[in-house]
Chains A and B, each alone.
Chain A
Amino acid sequence: AQTVTQSQPEMSVQEAETVTLSCTYDTSESDYYLFWYKQPPSRQMILVIRQEAYKQQNATENRFSVNFQKAAKSFSLKISDSQLGDAAMYFCAYRYYGNNRLAFGKGNQVVVIP
């Protein structure tokens, strides 16, 4: 079974600064997808960014970017120019190419300090 590990349960960041969330995963597969989802308090989970394992180039979406290290099985999320609206729980998720279930980590709580 695939496992996803997120350490650092809570991260604080000053508004306009940068924060990096770490994620490692365990898999024996070579074809898979990785995701970061954001879950604001009492609101639904939304996709922040996704990465296909076969792509060497790191994905970026506006202020969000990832550092994907396939050999190290590491998938970190960098939030640049942090805004108050970025405050949320962030979940790293893995999905094997051959099935349809997402495997989530325990999450990182991001607190943005004005």
Chain B
Amino acid sequence: DTGVSQDPRHKITKRGQNVTFRCDPISEHNRLYWYRQTLGQGPEFLTYFQNEAQLEKSRLLSDRFSAERPKGSFSTLEIQRTEQGDSAMYLCASSLKASGSFGETQYFGPGTRLLVL
């Protein structure tokens, strides 16, 4: 049973560079979420997909952030022109939304820790 996986686990970059993270959800899950967690805080919602459609984006997701989920499988989160304030743990989660059901459990990956120098 494979859970949610994320790659890379750690990323160090210089301010102004672009970075891309990948998330592979649990195979049959149709929903995929991205959260950001800064030190000493709980995760904050960024965006979510149902299959390949991006259905909701937080106002935290500035124009420098873009997420995709081609073919409704893995997802990528790209940050352009990184800033020091982007340093955080980026968490991916997935869930299975069945017809007529609500409040399904979100299963989290191990996260990608980003440090912007």
Q: What is the interface of chain A, defined by CB distance below 8 A to chain B?
A: 4, 33, 35, 37, 43-47, 50, 52, 91, 93, 95, 97, 99-107
Contacts and interface: CB of A to CB of B under 8 A. Distances in A.
A91 B56 contact: no
Contacts of A102: 33, 35, 43, 45, 106
Contacts of A43: 110
Interface of B: 3-4, 31, 33, 35, 40-45, 48, 55-56, 58, 91, 102-103, 105-111
B31 A46 contact: no
B66 to A, nearest CB: 19
A78 to B, nearest CB: 20
A100 B42 contact: no
A101 B42 contact: no
A4 B48 contact: no
B103 A52 contact: yes
Contacts of A52: 103
Contacts of B110: 43-44
B33 A104 contact: no
Given A4-B42, A107-B42, A100 B56 contact: yes
A105 B37 CA distance: 11
Contact of B42 (A44, A99, A105): A105
A45 B91 contact: yes
A38 B49 CA distance: 24
